[in-house]
Amino acid sequence: MGGLSGLILAWTNELTGYDNEKRSFVVACCNTFAYVFQAWLPIVIFPQVEQPRVFKGNVANACIDFALIGVAFLALYLQRRDNRRKAAAVSSSTVLVDDESEPRKSDDADVYEADVVSVASVQVK
């Protein structure tokens, strides 16, 4: 359980990296919930009177680990779904440029010749 905190914080930082306020709020919430659960959960599921055999604690720990794995796969699924939606939105909003909107070479040549003439007519004092 303890080894996942760095992974969770890195993943939330990556997922919310586009918005600083959202990222700071989500990371702060993750830290708060982690500290809250780390403060009381070990006392409840690993009581001193049941040491060194803490069967209920081991079962609870296994259930929590499987739940965290399930949440991680859910977050991965949702991340991929959002990425597919963004890609579909970008591809559908792409505007095709037709050939008439780009300047023709003859237009460029006329502009270039006009610039050369105006520069040549300037007198140096």
Q: What is the pLDDT of residues 44-71, one digit of tens each?
A: 999 888 888 899 999 998 998 898 888 8
Alpha helices in 16-104 (DSSP H): 20-45, 55-92
User: Does any domain span residue 113?
Assistant: no
Question: Has residue 90 been placed in a domain?
Answer: yes
Residue 101 lies in a domain: no
pLDDT score recorded for residue 16: 86
How many Å apart are CA 46 and CA 69, to the nearest integer?
22
Range of the domain at 60: 4-96
pLDDT band at residue 7 under the 50/70/90 scheme = confident
Tally of domains in the chain: 1
Residues with Cβ < 8 Å from 61, sequence gap 6 or more?
A: 1, 45
Is the residue at 76 inside a domain?
Answer: yes
Residue tagged 């918005």 (tokens): 19
Whole-model pTM?
Answer: 0.61
Residue 81 inside a domain? The answer is yes
Question: What is the spatial distance between Cα 117 and Cα 115, in angstroms, rounded to a whole number?
Answer: 5
- Judge whether 125 lies within some domain: no
Q: Is residue 43 part of a domain?
A: yes
